Amino acid sequence: MRRLSLTGTLLSMAILTASAVLRLTTVIDAQGNALSQLFPEIESAVRLLHRVCATTVALISLAVLILSGRFIHSNTKVMKPALWIAFSVLILSIAGPMTSGYQHGFVTVLNVVVGMVMLMSFWWMNETLTYTIARLHPIALETTVRPTLLTLAVHIASGAAASAWFMYGMRWPSWIHVLTLFPMLAFVRIKPSIHNQSRKNNVFFVCLVVGLQFISGVTLIWQEQRSLGLSVTHAITSYLVALILISIIFRAGR
């Protein structure tokens, strides 16, 4: 189960990265047609990678859902991420084909947000299994977990929307996107009464990564011609922030 969840995490990262590359290298012409700026061979290779990874993840999600039934009596927490994985894969299988051509901004945003849910659910499954095997009892930070994840979802959704609007030459949505980083920090804090260096290090690391995200985002906005490398790195770092937050929630009590 842990191997499956780790493989699912890596493949989800590959799917999101391939999707980001295709989206960030697409522009909309005057007739409303989506034009890729990649060489045809590279575009075909990226799309093939996306397709293969998506098919493999679908099979893994089915295996995880079936195997998680074995834990349902001993540990119900294992079933929750399994259900979220299955749900996200189902939504992506429906919405994915509708993304072609990037004609519908809502579908693009939905794909990215649900893809993030899939990624986080696989990692959630891995962390749950890790602590189940080790018989540890993680304690969450002195924070409300749901608002933290909600602000992350807003950040991811605004990023997908900003990249979709950028295809039409609009830059102002990108400012909204980078500003959505900061509400996340309001929820990532530690109990003042508990002096736990590990927790402080976790929070400091999140603040550092978020700060770097803000700097790279502002740099991309001001660039006349966006750097593809920096754009993809900015997107991947957002995925890593999501995994870090999941890990902090589970590991705060160590």
pLDDT of residue 150: 79
Judgement on whether residues 129 and 144 belong to the same structural domain of the protein:
no
191 in the same domain as 253: yes
pLDDT of 62 over the 70 cut: yes
Structural domain of 226:
139-254
Pair 143, 242 in one domain: yes
What pLDDT, on the 0 to 100 scale, is given for residue 153?
82
| 3-state DSSP percent of the chain in helix, strand and coil, to 5 | 75, 0, 20
Examine the fold and report which residue of 136, 166, 188 is the final residue of a domain before the chain moves on. Answer: 136
Among 136, 160, 184, the domain boundary falls at: 136
Same domain, 225 and 203: yes
The tokens for 124 are: 């959630």
- Res. 119: pLDDT tops 90: yes
Do residues 244 and 123 touch, judged by C-beta distance below 8 A? no
Q: Which of 66-80, 140-154, 161-175, 224-238 has the lowest mean pLDDT?
A: 140-154
Question: Is the domain of 218 the same as that of 242?
Answer: yes
Select from 136, 169, 193 the last residue of a domain. 136
Residue 28 corresponds to which tokens in the numbers above? Answer: 């909309």
Alpha-carbon distance of 16 to 54, in angstroms, equals 10
Torsion from C-alpha of 94, 96, 98, 100, nearest 10 degrees: -160
More reliable by pLDDT, 198 or 210: 210
Pair 17, 100 in one domain: yes
Share of residues in the chain with pLDDT > 70 (%): 76
Report the domain count for the chain.
Answer: 2
